[in-house]
Chains A and B, each alone.
Chain A
Amino acid sequence: MKPTSPVLTGIGSVTPYGPLAGLISTGPLEPSAITAWTTPGLRRAFLVEAFRPASIVPGLKTRRLDRLSAWALVASSLALRDAGIDLAKMDRSRIAVFFATGFGCVELTEAFFQSAATHGWAETDPIIFPETLSNAPASHVALFHDLHGPNVTISSQGFAAESALLQASSLLRHGQADLAIVLAGDTLTQAIYEWYEAAHLLSPPCFSKEQLPSAGGFIPSEGVVAMVLEPTGRQESRPYAALGAGRWAVGGDARTGVRQLLGDATPTFTICTGNGGPCASRHTTCSARDLVGEDATIYPSQPVATGIGDASALLHLLLALSRRPGAGDALLLATSVDGGFAALRLELF
């Protein structure tokens, strides 16, 4: 990695594993039954259990926020804590926030639609409307931490989190920020879940505990993962990883793109963010083995709870780091059926 490579120094997450700073120590999860709305039978997903944000981040007020914004605030706080960042000592005008999401603030968007359905468009709720905007979570992160740097909410079909990582790294490399908090996440709502179901995208274990997850489809999940990126040399503690070059494209030839990125290098580990397993976030098949060779070690080797839509890559990366594959070169890789791919070189410490 070059001396200018951004390094990953802090991780915070609110996922089905709970709110956590740093790595995840617990093993694979089972999906749980959906009770937040009436379902026509058993319906399961990887869900975030309700918790009180102020119990994790003292003083945090989230009463008027949707879960996505609340989770973003908790995850970003935990990531900064994990990185040992004292914001009082930082130039907050040079701290950027990137938020990757597939669907944005769907909970309050649905609430706004509900308000229109009940009272008509002429009588909708002015408190809800601004919180339906996709950039609300990133704005709340800036507001809560008093961060005045670039504030970007990003979405990219299949590759939102990867895109956010690459764009944030770019900002750091070009000196447009001194530190970036990169977040990625989505919430699972009735409208989203039933859309997956209507589109026949769900895996059999969504409907029965007895079903094996090998029959295709995926199990939806929800949550937010936050990561702190800093330029090499600025961090005070040993980072988790350094971020190298990356590329992404939405179509074409993934093999050529990945080869161009890797050159002669062969990564020791490949962290596959769309492994085709039934619990993977995407219903596309990641042909990682085909792209990086038969001898490569690919994570995850087993299906994991990682389905946070387009924004799942940060959770995949967190889970891979949590399995402690050891030090070495790694490749964060996702592919799509259209030949699209996102690939990011990493050095794991």
Chain B
Amino acid sequence: MVSPYGVGLSRLHAGMLAGQCCLEPVSELYPGFQGTVAAVGSLPLLHDGHHYSRSDRLAMVAARDAVGEIADSYPTFHESGIVMASTVAGLTEIDPEIAQGPAAWYRHGGLSRAASYSVSRVSASVGEHLGIQGPACAVSVACASGALAIALAANMLLDEAAPMVLAGGSDALCPFTLSGFNSLQALDRDPCRPFDQDRKGLNLGEGAAVLVLETLAHATQRGARVLAVLRGWAMTNDASHPTAPQKDGIELAACIHRAMEMAECSIDEIGYVNAHGTGTPLNDIAETHAYERAFHGRSQPIPVSSTKSYFGHCLGAAGALEAAITITSVRTGSLFPTLRLNNPIESSKIDWLHGEVRRQPLPVAMSVSAGFGGSNVALVFGSHSA
């Protein structure tokens, strides 16, 4: 994993446990921009001889961190599959001048940079970096991309398409997306406040997370340390508006139900939801309605938090980063609160986590993602013993 906390899950975990917020005011990302983002510091150098975009490099570093020594020691590792998500991909490498004369832009050094434009390059870069030659693809479903990559990777395991699949997402900060969200007036200039009644918008972040998925039988056979079990997954689409979420959250709730159905767990068994929680007025209210609908009849309010309040919205990487955080919560029993949640949206059915880190046994938890275009993804993770 690569996050604004640095390389590795342990750094992110330690930072979040300490309540450290990585969001910082910046103004140099492009002339006229003033806002708050969470950036990754220096990335390790990669001497591959190719031109890689920043999203590619984030993905490569995260994948190397995820696989550890099995890349060199496990005999069939090169047959692994890869499903990587990205929305930005190589957009970081393209200058606006390309639109005013592509041929001239290519002549002046743009040719090799343009080669990293396609979103498929993110998964290809991971494969090249780790010597993986199995089935590889990249998915791009806006902010739900990272979670969807994990769901598709799980399907690939069901199909025995590969002995293990690396799944995750990667996205870098870039003027294109900052400008786009700014034009939509979706950004909060200050650190975001997901699920707060006074929320004003989101902050962008960057990072990458990669999960190594394999069947339990395969993991047991090779003596792997099982971090968690992906018990259920589901994908739905709002089909209601190109950008705005469905106000009543019906399809997101349906997605949650389907994931629980696959996981064969009840609404009372889900101990925590790591929410999409962007901090935009529209998303957070729609998501609130979805949780109220999905967990209706639960004996206790459902604990929910948004960890985007720590390091912003990492777009295509967000779902994968948040899946990793959810797994950490299951493993350690640490439920991270939403930062700056002082005046939560009123709901008797939701236990908004704020203040201190909550400690409790957590056999089963859910990570929820949603995105432009109406895509919803829900992932249910359980402890190995659950």
User: A residues bordering B, Cβ < 8 Å?
Assistant: 40, 92-93, 97, 102-104, 109-114, 116-117, 120-126, 129-136, 138-140, 142-143, 145-157, 159-160, 163, 166-167, 170-171, 173-174, 176, 190-191, 194-195, 197-199, 247-252, 310, 338-340
Contact = CB atoms under 8 A, between A and B. Distances in A.
B180 A139 contact: no
Interface string B165-177: 0000000000110
B236 interface: yes
Contacts of B241: 143
Given A155-B137, A250-B133, A102 B237 contact: no
Contact of A116 (B120, B175, B185): B175
Contacts of A170: 155-156, 158-159
Nearest to A253: B133
A132 B180 contact: yes
B302 interface: no
B361 to A, nearest CB: 31
B236 A249 contact: no
A39 to B, nearest CB: 10
A170 B159 CA distance: 7
A174 B258 CA distance: 13
Contacts of A123: 32
A51 B293 CA distance: 44
Best-buried of B97, B124, B241 by chain A (most CB within 10 Å): B124
Contacts of A113: 94-96, 98-99, 176
B31 A120 contact: yes
Interface stretch (B17-25, B40-48, B101-109, B345-353): B101-109
B161 interface: yes
B374 A151 contact: yes
B155 A133 contact: no
Given A148-B237, A151-B374, A117 B155 contact: no
Nearest to A127: B183
Given A121-B30, A121-B31, A142-B239, A155 B179 contact: no
Contacts of B184: 126, 129-130
B237 A191 contact: no
A263 to B, nearest CB: 15
A199 B111 contact: yes
Nearest to B239: A142
Contacts of B183: 124-126, 129
A176 to B, nearest CB: 8
Interface stretch (B140-148, B215-223, B276-284, B333-341): B140-148
Contacts of B133: 249-252, 338-340
B160 to A, nearest CB: 10
Nearest to A111: B99
B127 A250 contact: yes
Contacts of A157: 118, 120-121, 123-124, 136
Given A148-B238, A155-B137, A133 B373 contact: yes
3 smallest beta-carbon distances between A and B, as pairs: A139-B373, A122-B32, A251-B133
Contacts of B94: 113
Contact of A143 (B30, B106, B115, B240): B240
18 contacts: A93-B236, A102-B118, A110-B98, A116-B175, A120-B30, A120-B32, A122-B30, A124-B180, A130-B242, A148-B236, A150-B236, A151-B375, A152-B139, A154-B139, A170-B159, A176-B235, A198-B111, A252-B79
Contacts of B96: 113-114, 116-117, 121
A195 B111 contact: yes
B2 to A, nearest CB: 22
B134 A134 contact: no
Interface string B61-102: 000000000000000001100000001000100111111101
A135 B120 contact: no
Contacts of B99: 110-111, 113-114, 116-117, 191
A250 B136 contact: yes
Contact of B142 (A133, A160, A171): A133
A85 B254 CA distance: 24
Contacts of B139: 152-155
B179 A152 contact: no
Contacts of A198: 103, 106-107, 111
A321 B81 CA distance: 30
Given A117-B100, A138-B141, 9 more contacts: A121-B31, A122-B33, A129-B179, A132-B176, A148-B254, A153-B139, A160-B120, A167-B155, A250-B124
A160 B140 contact: no
Contacts of A247: 135, 161
A146 B124 CA distance: 34
B251 interface: yes
Interface string B310-354: 000000000000000000000000000000000000000000000
A111 B100 CA distance: 10
Contacts of B111: 195, 198-199
Contact of A195 (B33, B114, B121, B137): B114
Nearest to A96: B235
A33 B33 CA distance: 42
A140 to B, nearest CB: 7
B150 interface: no
Contacts of B31: 120-122
Given A133-B140, A157-B124, A122 B155 contact: no
A110 B33 CA distance: 21
Nearest to B176: A112
A113 B98 CA distance: 7
Contacts of A166: 159, 161
B119 interface: yes
